[in-house]
Amino acid sequence: MTLDDRNRRNDEIRRGQNFIGDVHKKMSRIAQEFAAGELNRAQFLRLYDRYQRQILLVAQMIAESDPAGWRDAIADGEDTLEIRRRFESMPVGLSVYSNHSGMPLETVGDFVVEAELVTPMLEVYASATTEIFNAAVRSIELDSGAWLCFVRGQHTSLLALFSVEPASFQVGLIERLHADFEVANHKALAEGETDASQLTHSFYSLVEQTQFGEVPPRED
């Protein structure tokens, strides 16, 4: 091996090691994003697995006789933004139920959950203590793979259907939207008003635009 070859090899090893260091930083960053509720579980696991595979592959290439091939080895055709979007949870539909009558006041979007499934869920949710759920919002996975979130207020309960498990910040947004709905309509709801046309809604754009919960682009 000539001196130039040796220098090129050492340069590639150094670049590969720097790449591994950068990927470790990305892994730490998405762990922090998941802890902060900015990523759902599917996004985190898929991204973390991809980064881990990249590190193992580059380390293996560096250890071999020709470390120059590590760039081609990690070209898997995916990028971070694509993975984030593919596994992103999207709001599919919402339905608001009266706590008094147990009847739906209004449904927005494609809320395809059978009424005979919703009613017992609401009854169980209403009768359970806060200590059992340990949260103001209860989320469950349906047989279809979609997730249903329950938020109970003084007068109404909001059910939000997501395509996959939502990130915790999305669940928090659902809770805030429902709280605003109850505040804005407190007088009407307290008087027993159930006509949707007479109520002010704070969550139409949530489903109609289907843009809340988008993850901002990050470098790959």
163/89 Cα distance (integer angstroms): 6
Please state the pTM of the whole predicted model. 0.64
pLDDT in tens, 14-62: 888 888 899 899 999 999 998 898 999 889 888 988 888 888 778 777 7
Determine whether domain 91-208 maps to CATH 3.40.50.300.
no
* 147-152: strand order across its sheet: 104-109, 91-98, 156-162, 147-152, 137-141
Whole-angstrom CA distances from 73 to 13, 15, 77 are 14, 14, 11
List beta partners, residue 107: 95
pLDDT in tens, 70-87: 566 666 556 667 777 778
The DSSP secondary structure of 205-216, one letter per residue, reads HHHHT--TTPPP
Q: What are the residue ranges spanned by the domains of the chain?
A: 3-86, 91-208
Strands 156-162 and 104-109, sheet pairing: unpaired
